[in-house]
Amino acid sequence: MPEDRVALHSEFGTLKSVIMHRPGKEIDRLTPYNKSELLFDDVPFLQQMQKEHDEFTVLIKQAAGAQVYRLHELLIDVLIDDNLLLEAITDALNGSGIEEHSEEFIARYSTSECAGILLHGIKVNELKRKYQHKVLDKFDDYDYLIKPNPNLYFMRDPAAVVQTGVISSKMKFPGRQRESKLLRTIFENHDLFKGRVDFLDTGEGVNTCIEGGDVIVLSDKALAIGHSERTDTKAIEAVARQVLKKGGVERVYEVHLPKVRNCMHLDTVFTIIDENLVVTYPDAMQSVLQTNVYRLDEVDSEGNVSLHKEEINDSILKVLQNEIDHLEVVETGDGNPDYARREQWFDGANVFAIGPRRVISYNRNIHTNRALRHAGVEVLEISSSELSRGLGGPRCMTMPIERQKF
Q: Tell how far CA 259 is from the center of its chain.
A: 18
Closest CA to 230 of 183, 185, 192, 268: 268
DSSP 185: H
Catalytic option among 114, 209, 263, 396: 396
- Which residues, other chains included, contact 378 with Cβ-Cβ below 8 Å and sequence gap of 6+? 357, 358, 359
Angle at 11 between CA 396 and CA 400, to 5 degrees: 55
Exposure string for 51-77, b = 16+ CB within 10 A, e = fewer? ebbeebbebbeeebebebbebbebbbb
296 Rama class: left (phi>0) / alpha (psi -120 to 50) / beta: beta
Closest CA to 103 of 82, 80, 79, 78: 82
Q: Tell how far CA 375 is from the center of its chain.
A: 27
Closest CA to 255 of 268, 244, 266: 266
Closest CA to 348 of 327, 369, 328, 317: 369
| Cα 85 from Cα 112, distance rounded (Å) | 11
Torsion of CA 137, 139, 145, 151, to 10 degrees: 160
| Cα 6 from Cα 228, distance rounded (Å) | 26
* Strand partners of residue 26: none
396 part of the active site:
yes
Q: Using CB atoms within 10 A of its CB, is residue 310 exposed (0-12), middle (13-18) or buried (19+)?
A: exposed
User: Which of the residues are catalytic?
Assistant: 396
